[in-house]
Amino acid sequence: MAAAPVFLDHPSSLEHDTGGHPERAARIVAVLDELERRDWLGWERVSSPPVDRSVLTAVHPEAYVDALQRAAARGGGALDADTFISSGSFEAALHACGGAVELVSLLVSGGAGGRGFSAHRPPGHHALPARAMGFCLFNNIAVAARYAVDVLGLDRVLIFDWDVHHGNGTNDVFHSSSEVLFVSIHQSPLYPGTGAASDVGSGEGRGYTVNLPVPPGSGDSVYLSLVSEVVVPLAFSFRPELVLVSAGYDAHLEDPLADCRVTEAGFAGMAALMSGACDALGVGLGCVLEGGYAIGALARSVCATMEALVPGGGSPGLDGPFVDPLAVAARERLAAEFWPDLGLGLGLGG
C-alpha cells in the first residue's frame, strides 16, 4: 500500500499572538476544523519538530535569530507596522520552519506518498535573511530549500509561489543561485512592491528568478494559463529533484488584502497541474502555507489543494480559455532570453 500524504502542523502556531491582526490564530483553527470535518482527506497528520539551529542559520544569521529570541522573551511587540512578535512567537516560528524542513526530509526520502502540506504560522516568504517583514519572521520555504541542497545533496529545487504578494524574501535569498528556480505569480501593484518581470536574478542565478506579475482582478483563467504555459514548461526544462509551493490563498476573490479573483477551483487546478508535472518528473511536491486572510475561503482552498495533490484526485472542471496573453508574452520572453525549451509546446495549452 502506498504511503499516505502528510499534513504537518504544531500547536505552537496558535501561540503566535498578533491580536486583531489579519494573520491570526483563527486561520489555522479554520483549516484544522475543516480537515477534521472531512476526516483529514485520508492524509496522515504529523507533528512538526522545531528546526535545528544550524539549518536555520544557513539562511538567517545567528545575530538575527538571537534578536528574535530575545524579543519574544521580553514579551514581544511590533517589529514593523505589519509584523508582530509575542512571547510564543519564537517557538511557533521554530516549528513553522521545522515543519517545512521535515516535509522536505520526508519527500526526499521517498516517504509521504510523494506529497505533503506544512501548515503553520507565522508565514515566511517575505522574511529576508536579517529582517522580519510582511507578517513573517523566518523564511520557512527558503530554509527548507537550502536544507534540501546543502544537507540532502539535491542539485535543483523549484519553488513556485502563488501567494498574491510577491515572495520578496525567497526571491532575494536565491537571487544569485542556479540551484533553486524561483517562480512567482503575484498581483502588481501590491505590497511589497517588488517582483517586476525584469527581475530575473543575478550572477549565476540570472534566469532562475522568474517573476510573473498580474493585474488586479486576475482570476482562475489567468493563473491557470500562467501555470500551464509557463510554470509547468519551466519545470520540464529545469528538471527539479523537488518542487515546493509557497501556498498562499490571498489571491482568493473573498480575500480582504488583495484584488485578485481566484476560486477554490483555481487553486485546485494549479495544484493538479503541478502534481501532474511532478508525477511525470518523478519528484515529490510539498506545499508550505503562506497567506490567506478570508478564513472560510482559506480553509476550503487548502482542502481543495490537498484533494488535487493526491494521485487520481483530479481537479474541478473549469471553463477556458486558459491561454491568456500574459502567459503567451511571458513564455515568449523567457524562451528568447533564458529557457529556449519553452518554445517546444510543453504546456497544456501547447
DSSP 241-267: SEEEEEE--TTBTT-TT---BB-HHHH
What is the longest distance spanned by two Cα atoms in the chain?
57
Contact predicate 148/154, CB 8 Å: yes
Three cell numbers written together for 207: 534566469
Three cell numbers written together for 146: 537550502
Three cell numbers written together for 346: 510543453
The residue among 30, 133, 128 whose CA lies nearest residue 85 is: 133
Burial class of residue 8 (count of CB atoms within 10 Å of its CB; 0-12, 13-18, 19+): buried
- 126 catalytic? Reply is yes
Q: Which of the residues 126, 166, 175, 186 is marked catalytic?
A: 126
Helix, strand, or coil (residue 67): helix
Helix, strand, or coil (residue 106): helix
Q: Which residues are catalytic?
A: 126
